[in-house]
Structure formats: C-alpha cells, structure tokens
Structure 1
Amino acid sequence: MINREPTCVGTVKHVLGSTVTVALDPEMAGISPIFRGEVVSVGQIGSIVRIPQGLVDLIGSVSLVGIAELVTSLKPSSATTVGERWLQVQLVGQIDRTSGAFRRGVACYPGLDDPVHFATTDQLLPLFPAADERRLRIGRLAAAEGLTVSLDAARLVVRHAAIVGSTGSGKTSCVSSLLQGFVSGGWSSSNIIVVDPHGEYSRALGDSARV
C-alpha cells in the first residue's frame, strides 16, 4: 500500500450507495493492531472506521468480513476482486474536521483506492458524548471499550422505545440498568411504573422501588 499511516488498514475497492467494500492491507498483521498501547478492533462486526474526504471524515460500521476465495462476487458486479481479506462497511455519517461536529448521513462518497483508517477513541468522541445531566450512561462501546455509550434522557422518555433480543440476551439487565441510572443520576422528579408479572425487577432495584 502507498499510504503508510499507522492508522490505515486498507483501501476502498467497491462503492454501492452507502455500502463500501475495503481491501485490507496484506501487510497488516492480524485484525487487531496495537495503537498507542491499546488493542484496536478492525476485522470484527461493529468495528468503526473512518474514510477521510477533504474537510470531513466519513464514519462507517463494519457489517461483513470475508476472505476473497471463500465468497462469491459482490453485487452488482459479476466478478469483483477485493483482495485476500476484506471488510464491508456501512456509512453512517460524517465528522466535520473544522468544528468536530458529527451528523448522520453523508454528503459525499469515497473514491476507489481511498485509504481507510481505524477510528481512535478521541476521534469517536463526537459520536459518543459522555454522560452528563442530559445523558444517561448505559455501558461501553464493544468496538472501543474506552468509550461510554449514553442516551439522551429527554428523548428516551418522550418517545416510543423497545428493547428486543432472544431469551437470555440481557433485556432485563438492560432495562434494570436504565432504571438504576435514572434513580442514581439525579433525576429526582422522575416517576417510573414497571409492570413486572415475573418479579424480575424487584431484586434489581432493591431499596429504590416499592412493590
């Protein structure tokens, strides 16, 4: 590869709308390089990459990984060569380098052979603001454990929301964490009613609730 920046992991080889296929650098050892003493997730579902485009960085989430000889061609081409190891990335938004602001959706698309970089914790802060008096912390980002994930509390309570998953995936734990966050986060005026036919939440909420 021509681009030898330490954060560069590959190049763009295929663009179809918001779906971008990236050929990984064949010289990159493994899929979890170490950068500034931190293991960076690259070749895993949910990993986050950035594609510089002038004054903005396009941000994408890895949705598919593969090895060329193990898969068929990628749509809409009949014969697409993407390299020995590749990623498929879904563009989710862009960060303005001047203001540092993140916005959903993209105003431009990458070109062929554009370099693709893994995103560092500092670069992802505009996407994942820290918990504060407005935001409720719910956990950490699996692809970058140094980042906390928070929800806008006002938007959460005034809109419809659903937490879904298979049996044992952690739905009750997630809801309990949200309720505990409201109780301990300083929202003293919040009143929450839980319909709990199986008695799952009484233990989790302890002294914070009445049954």
Structure 2
Amino acid sequence: MTKPPTYLGKVISVSGASIFVELTPQVMSGLLVIEGKTHRIGQVGSFVRIPQGYNNLYGIISETVENTDSIDLSGKINTRRQLKVELVGEAIGNDFERGISQFPSISEEVHLVTEQDLKKIYGTQEKGQIVIGKLSSSDSINVSIDLDNLVNKHSAILGSTGSGKSTSVASLLRAIITSHTQNILMPSARIVLFDLHGEYSSALSDIANVFSINADNDAENLYIPYWCVAPDSLIDFLCGPSTDLKNNFIDLIIDEKINFVNANDNIKININKITAYTPIPFRLDKIWYELFHTYSVNWLDEDMT
C-alpha cells in the first residue's frame, strides 16, 4: 500500500509524553517536497502528526539521532535515523486542544504536518486575541495570543544575553496597542513600562509617552503624587518610628479617602472597601494639621497635669 507523501516513519518507543520515531528510508535526504513546498525533515521545533482515526495527535521534535547503524541477520548494515518527539496536544475533528487523552502505540504512522494542520494548532484570530507575528515555518499563518490570559497571568520572556529579549518585549507591546490589520493605535490600551535601563524609549517613542526623572528634550519630567506612594513608606519618611502616630496616620488617610469619594459622585467605589492602599487622593496638609493639633493638645494636657 502506497504511503501518503506526508509519511515520515513509525513509532518505535513510547515513554509518557515522549516518543521515538524511526524515519522511513525515503526521507533520509532530510528534505520533502509537498504541494510545491520544501520541508526540512527532523528540524528541532517542528511539528509532526500521528493519525488515530478521527483524532490526530501532535508533537514537537525535540531531538534528532543521526546515522544509527544496525546489522541485520544477513550481515547487512542498515542506517537508521530517529526523532525524539514530545506530544503536546490533539485535534478532535478541527478543534485542537493541549494535552493528550490517549497515547500512540508502537508502529503507528507519523506524518509531517501541513499548512492545514498548523492552522488547526494555531487557530484563527478570534475576539480578544492579538497577532504577534508570523509562524517561522509558514509565513502565511499568523501567530496570535489571548490578551486576557497574557495580562491576567504571570508571563516571562527568557533567553540568553543577546538573544533578543528586549526586542521581543517591544514587539509584544506594540502588538498589544496597535491594530495588526490597520496599523492604528488602540484607544483603550493602557500600559505602564518601567524602563530601568533606557532600552525602550527609542523603540516605542512613536506610540508612547516617555517620562523620566532626568528628562531631556525627548522625554517629560516624571512626577509621582504623594498619594500614589505606599502608605508605609510615606509614613516612615514623615513620622519616623512612632507606632501610635503611624496608626493614627493610617486612620486619617482612610477617612480622607472616604471623604474624597463622597465629594465626587463620578467615582463609583464602595467606601466600605477603601483601604490606605486604595489609589485615591487625600489631603496631606489636613492630616498633618489633625495630627499636630491632637498631639499638641495631648502634650499640653500632660504638661499641665
């Protein structure tokens, strides 16, 4: 029976999510031409597909083993080439899902993924997703990420020195605030970037406002309102180590923030949930007056007695 042109080989070992694939001699050259496109066989980071009836398992090549020789019973030396593949997900029909519900068996076929397979894996640009680039192995496929999942979870871009971490961050930020199709700024995008090494001002100056404590001609002076400073740091600076004074200061801060909310009807905040850390303006001079007046009166009373 003739194998389809995407056929690479068969599964020879299964260990959890890791499998080993023995390539067929027909793809020993390392190149495969399908639908007029040349595909490199065994390239680390590329996908493979394992059909299982209505389902398809997908894995990523993590390692290649070249020129593994074996001797058959007739004494002939056979050259074998193997791939190590990490299973990452499966497609039931046209819906791709991460994780594996069933594992492959020995001798099951392994195939090269086509552009249609990659579209299943990477999906289409749905609502709430942003395009961050093109797939390196197929430049006709956009790579999108879910913006809610990105900003609501901890994310990290890792790499060695000089690998392009800062460039990747700049590209990611530009993708978030710029429409990929129309190249216009998104009106609701609000991102604060703390650029401690001054790497991003030149890369993002056309779509960002740059502030600095030592502003030059290309930046604006950075001013931080005192009510944005953490209360603990502000109180330590103003009041010193006095515990009683700190407690009174915290109470007055909360009272002042509640008064500010009550005086501004457009601020829709539940006053019962306001704490000293809620970013609401308060009158520092009023608090200072209250503390000075209270402690002065107490000091006079103690002195007179």
With the shorter chain as reference, the TM-score category is 0.7 to 0.9
SS of structure 2 residue aligned to 1:14:
strand
Counterpart of 1:125? 119
CA distance in structure 2 between the partners assigned to 1:199 and 1:65 by the alignment: 41
Alignment length (residue pairs): 197
Write the distance in 2 (CA, Å) between the matches of 1:47 and 1:139. Answer: 17
Give the structure 2 partner of residue 75 of structure 1: none
2:87 counterpart of 1:91: yes
Higher strand share: 1
Shift in alpha-carbon separation, 1:83–1:69, aligned structure 2, 3 A: closer
Question: Could you say which residue in structure 1 is the equivalent of 2:147?
Answer: 153
Aligned counterpart, 2:203? 204
Aligned with 2:172 (options 178, 202, 205): 178
Q: In the alignment, what sits opposite 2:249?
A: none
Match of 1:38?
Answer: 37
Given that 2:68 and 2:81 are in contact with CA atoms closer than 8 Å, whether structure 1 keeps it comes out as no
Pick the structure with greater CA Rg. Answer: 2
Alignment deviations for residues 141-164 of structure 1 (CA, whole Å, 9 cap, x no partner): 234333221110111111111111
Q: CA offset at residue 183 of structure 1?
A: 2.2
Q: Which residue of 1 aligns with 2:54?
A: 55
Question: For the Cα contact (< 8 Å) 1:41–1:143, is it kept in 2?
Answer: no
SS at 2:171's partner residue?
helix
Partner of 2:235: none
Could you tell me how far apart the structure 1 residues matched to 2:196 and 2:48 are?
43
User: Which amino acid in the other structure matches residue 61 of structure 2?
Assistant: V
Q: Give the distance between the partners of 2:127 and 2:99, measured in 1 at CA.
A: 27
1:71-90 maps to which residues of 2 (within 5 A)?
84-90=80-86
Q: Amino acid of the residue matched to residue 159 of structure 2?
A: G
Rounded Cα–Cα distance in structure 1 between residues aligned with 2:104 and 2:87: 10
- The alignment-based identity, stated in percent, is 37
Is residue 137–residue 150 contact of structure 1 (8 Å, CA) maintained in 2?
Answer: yes
The equivalent residue for 1:73 is none
Corresponding position of 1:105: 99
How does the TM-score come out when normalised to structure 1?
0.86
Alpha-carbon displacement from aligned partner over 1:163-202 (angstroms, at most 9, x marks no partner): 1111111111111111111221254212111111222111
Identify which range, 107-116 or 52-61, moves more after superposition: 107-116
Q: Which moved more, 1:116-125 or 1:33-42?
A: 33-42
Structure with more helix by fraction: 2
Tell me by how many angstroms 1:135 deviates. 1.3
CA contact (8 A) 2:43 2:61 kept: yes
Partner in structure 2 of residue 5 of structure 1: 4
Write the deviation string for residues 38-70 of structure 1: whole angstroms up to 9, x where unpaired: 122331111100000111000000011012538
List alignment gaps of at least 5 residues for structure 2.
70-77, 180-184, 211-305
For residue 26 of structure 1, report the CA deviation from its aligned partner. Answer: 0.8
TM-score when normalising by structure 2: 0.61
Cα 1:41–1:149 shift into 2, 3 Å = farther
Instruction: Report SS of the residue matched to 1:207.
Output: coil
Question: Does residue 115 of structure 2 align to residue 116 of structure 1?
Answer: no
Supply the distance in 2 between the matched residues of 1:83 and 1:29 (Cα, whole angstroms): 9
Quote the offset at 1:133 in angstroms. Answer: 4.2
Structure 1: tracts of 5 or more residues without a match:
71-81
Query: Which residue is 1:19 aligned to?
Result: 18
> What's the RMSD between the two structures over aligned residues?
1.9
